[in-house]
Amino acid sequence: MTTSKTIAALVGPTLVALALGMLVNLGSFPVLTEQVSREPALILVSGTLLFIAGLAIVRVHNQWAAGWPMLLTVVGWLALVGGLVRMLLPIQVASIVVGFGRSTGLMVVASLVLLLFGVFLSYKGYGRD
């Protein structure tokens, strides 16, 4: 369970920071996504980093037993597959990002889901057993 707590302690605050960053910069996303659509290399680089993070999680934490630690394995696999898709199809992903960035409501919902998930993982990572 120590590995689960360690990964949760890393992923949880990262998701909280990401969600808060998205909420604080909500008005900037239409401009940012337009820039990303012109630079698919950014998608490729972010995909590489996401792939490495997912691979690291899956490598040390591939647990499919029922319970909250399984969520970390799912996060690892989602990062691994998401990174691979970004690496293989950066132009197609860039066009999807533009559509996503224009929808303020979708951005708020996604941010809140990430925030709640991040708070949960932070609690599991830093809370008592």
CA distance 15 to 116: 9
Instruction: Show the domain range for 116.
Output: 2-126
**Model confidence pLDDT, tens digit, residues 69-126:** 999 999 999 999 999 999 999 988 888 877 777 778 888 999 999 999 999 999 999 9
Distance of CA 6 to the CA centre of its chain: 17
The whole-angstrom distance between residue 58's C-alpha and the CA centroid of its chain comes to 15
| Model pLDDT for residues 11-54, shown as the tens digit of each residue | 999 999 999 998 998 888 777 777 776 778 888 999 999 999 99
State the residue for tokens 């689960």: 4
**Which H or E run includes 18?**
helix 2-24
Residue written as token pair 């999807």: 96
Instruction: Give pLDDT, residue 103.
Output: 75
Indicate left, alpha or beta for 67 from its phi (over 0: left) and psi (-120 to 50: alpha): left
Q: What is the pLDDT of residues 21-30, one digit of tens each?
A: 989 988 887 7
> What is the SS3 assignment for 127?
coil
Give how many domains the chain has, as a whole number.
Answer: 1
DSSP character for 67?
A: S
